Structure 1
Amino acid sequence: MDEMTRLRELRADAPVPDRAALAPGRKRLTDAIEGRGRRTFRLRADWRIASLGAVVAITAAALFVTQVVDTSDPRQSGPATVAGDLDLSSPAAALGQAADFLERQEVPPEPRKDQWIYLREENPDQEKQWKEVPAEIREEMSMSYSPDSWIPYDDKAAENDESDTDYRTARESYRIAAGLPEDPEALLAELRKVFPTGDGSNGPREAKAEHSFRALTVLLESYPLPPDALARIYRAMATVEGVGVTDHLIRDATGRQVIAVTRAYDENSRREILLDPVDYSYAGQRDVVTRTHEISGDDGIPSTVHKRGDILMDIARTRAAVVDAKGQKP
């Protein structure tokens, strides 16, 4: 049995992501397999539509695992925040409260160009599935999994790489955020230019609201962002058509209680952007099945049923800091 067949049989029940979003990741993956630019890289937070997501398109072997949504009482009161009791009655209320708090915070100095961004993003299910991939396949793909990553704040080579239109360096993201306009409509229009959609050749083009939400999500994954800029981003996010907020805190992959800002990802699932209820920082994201559906198998692989409430992707950012050297932890 060849290696790709073995990988294909790991899991063939994952939903196929948007092909336009997969294109850059697919190129990087095929380059790695063919020996061009062998390197080890950390899986991006939105792994369903990025680097490892390309494996889905190429081999139909996404490394998803299903778990059940938090079943705690949704009417329980959440913790008090620094800004006061949480108001989760609507996106405008929740994100407006977050923006009010952030606007009162002091803006720290921009990181120096020689500094690094340390992130710890935990996904226990993904880690478990990744370990089940045969070692020889991981070696062939020159890929590895680690919850810890260090990103250079100033990365000229990455800034000049135009192969991934969604990727911006930490410095680029900081300055993009700092320069965003106050008006929500103008802010969203600017971000749609910064993170363009596909031309339609690799799948349907995104609708305006879908495009806006994706662009916001991509920027929110960056660290650091000035608190006043983050406030403008949250106010704009509240205006995007289809955006909601759960009326209770949910539990992330590590068990923390977090705010979930939601929007439909496709007809069968929704994307949830997770925010810390104390300082309103980005805390991760997850995808939740909203409609029970069956994923058809092929080549003898049985079909799989995803039930309403199953979690397809669950990533928790537990640490983020500016450090002076790669490998340093705060």
Structure 2
Amino acid sequence: MDEMTRLRELRADAPVSDHSSLAAGRQRLTEAAASGRRVRRLRADWRIAALGAAAAITVAAVLGTQLVDAAAPDRSGPASTAGTLRLDSPAAVLNRAADALEKRPAPTEPRDDQWIYTKTVMAQPGGSAGGHISYNPDNWVPYDNSAAAKNGKDDDYRTSRQVFRAANELPDDPVLLLAKVRSFYPTGHTAESPPEGKAQHSFRAMGLMVEAYPIAPAALARIYRALATVPGVHVTDHLVKDAAGREVIAITRREDGRHEQREILIDPHDFRYAGTRFVVTEDYENRLPAGRTQVRPEKFKAGQILLSEARVEAAVVDAKGEKP
């Protein structure tokens, strides 16, 4: 069973939640994220297979009516640190980004006793301030979060230290790099997390690697050059809005056999990870299997945003609770 069907079955009888009813769920998500549990998979890979994460499913489900901003920005491309960047091909965009990243100095690896602080925003229709709410706004995870890596049940979870070091060791050759990243983030092997095609696996795994913090600029440059070679990858020819309302570059790939595309969002100025979106690619109607209660089929329109999340802050700090 695919994850969209699971998601809709679980919410078929539920009314759209308001802010007060979602508060407890957001709190549980915050607590889960702080301990490195499976909530990470909601951000990195929207295949929400953990039925116990009911709050995560509810928050994701209510995003179904969020629409792409109708006001398209200037299609000549964003101003960036590398000059005017035309959004006409993923290779042009990602190689240009890689060129800029390679000029930046290598960072010092964080100490094992340091923490990674992140602040995340998730889009939710019907909220205040243009339909955006704070989702898990402040989160601290140990740089060396070995206990969570050993005890967690999420196959995609890697500590910041594991990713930082693995990224630095990635080869220059795109074919070899993609194989390494797929091995680092293996595909599923169960009904709840089924195996993926090679290209889809590459794109998902590369999205997880791009999202990692911290990551050396030279390593990110190699990742971008390889990402441009994944079959089916495209770039949206104009800037899009992330969950925080920022204009960003969208590197996209349609999910195999689905009506949606996964988007890796990149800041057009410093080329760092900005967020993730899942967007409907064509009009379609979802009907639940026989025996499930549903008043009417759920309809989706091309351009409708199913999930949108933005990382607005990330930093290495010395203690939990400390902010940059």
Judge same fold: TM > 0.5, yes or no.
yes
Please give the secondary structure, in 2, of the residue aligned with 1:160: helix
Conservation of the 8 A alpha-carbon contact between 2:122 and 2:135:
no
- In the TM superposition, what is the alpha-carbon distance from 1:158 to its structure 2 partner? 2.1
- In the TM superposition, what is the alpha-carbon distance from 1:294 to its structure 2 partner? 1.2
Conservation of the 8 A alpha-carbon contact between 1:246 and 1:259:
yes
Residues 167/94 of structure 1: CA separation in 2 closer, same or farther (3 Å cut): same
Residues 154/204 of structure 1: CA separation in 2 closer, same or farther (3 Å cut): closer
- In the TM superposition, what is the alpha-carbon distance from 1:120 to its structure 2 partner? 0.9
| 1:290 maps to which of 281, 290, 293 | 281
- CA distance in structure 2 between the partners assigned to 1:151 and 1:165 by the alignment: 18
Q: Which moved more, 1:192-201 or 1:225-234?
A: 192-201
Residues 170/289 of structure 1: CA separation in 2 closer, same or farther (3 Å cut): same
Partner of 1:309: 303
- CA distance in structure 2 between the partners assigned to 1:240 and 1:303 by the alignment: 35
Residues 116/293 of structure 1: CA separation in 2 closer, same or farther (3 Å cut): same
Q: Mark the runs of 5 or more structure 1 residues left unpaired by the alignment.
A: 13-32, 129-143
Partner of 2:93: 94
Please give the secondary structure, in 2, of the residue aligned with 1:180: coil
- In the TM superposition, what is the alpha-carbon distance from 1:161 to its structure 2 partner? 3.1
Percent identity of equivalent pairs: 47
- CA distance in structure 1 between the partners assigned to 2:171 and 2:305 by the alignment: 35
**What residue identity is the alignment partner of 2:83?**
G
- CA distance in structure 2 between the partners assigned to 1:278 and 1:203 by the alignment: 36
Partner of 2:104: 105
Please give the secondary structure, in 2, of the residue aligned with 1:64: helix
- CA distance in structure 1 between the partners assigned to 2:264 and 2:10 by the alignment: 33
| 2:13 maps to which of 9, 14, 18 | 9
| 1:224 maps to which of 196, 214, 224 | 214
Conservation of the 8 A alpha-carbon contact between 1:11 and 1:62:
no
Residues 10/277 of structure 1: CA separation in 2 closer, same or farther (3 Å cut): same
Residues 283/71 of structure 1: CA separation in 2 closer, same or farther (3 Å cut): same
Conservation of the 8 A alpha-carbon contact between 1:268 and 1:293:
yes
Residues 126/47 of structure 1: CA separation in 2 closer, same or farther (3 Å cut): farther
Conservation of the 8 A alpha-carbon contact between 1:52 and 1:62:
no
- CA distance in structure 2 between the partners assigned to 1:194 and 1:110 by the alignment: 20
- In the TM superposition, what is the alpha-carbon distance from 1:62 to its structure 2 partner? 5.3
Q: Deviations over 1:255-282 (max 9, x none)?
A: 1110000001242010110000010000
Conservation of the 8 A alpha-carbon contact between 1:119 and 1:320:
yes
Residues 315/59 of structure 1: CA separation in 2 closer, same or farther (3 Å cut): closer
- CA distance in structure 1 between the partners assigned to 2:323 and 2:295 by the alignment: 43
Partner of 1:327: 321
- CA distance in structure 1 between the partners assigned to 2:164 and 2:270 by the alignment: 18
Partner of 1:161: 151
Q: Mark the runs of 5 or more structure 2 residues left unpaired by the alignment.
A: 1-8, 17-27, 34-38, 128-133
- In the TM superposition, what is the alpha-carbon distance from 1:312 to its structure 2 partner? 0.4
- CA distance in structure 1 between the partners assigned to 2:262 and 2:30 by the alignment: 30
Over aligned residue pairs, what C-alpha RMSD do you find? 3.2
Partner of 2:25: none
- In the TM superposition, what is the alpha-carbon distance from 1:200 to its structure 2 partner? 5.2
Partner of 2:116: 117
Question: Is 1:40 paired with 2:59?
Answer: no
Q: Which moved more, 1:240-249 or 1:145-154?
A: 145-154
Residues 145/67 of structure 1: CA separation in 2 closer, same or farther (3 Å cut): closer
Partner of 2:198: 208
- In the TM superposition, what is the alpha-carbon distance from 1:51 to its structure 2 partner? 7.1
Conservation of the 8 A alpha-carbon contact between 2:80 and 2:270:
yes
- In the TM superposition, what is the alpha-carbon distance from 1:152 to its structure 2 partner? 0.5
**Equivalenced residues, count:** 289
Partner of 1:133: none
Conservation of the 8 A alpha-carbon contact between 1:107 and 1:227:
yes
**What residue identity is the alignment partner of 1:158?**
A
The TM-score normalised by the length of structure 2 is 0.80
Please give the secondary structure, in 2, of the residue aligned with 1:235: helix
Conservation of the 8 A alpha-carbon contact between 2:121 and 2:135:
no
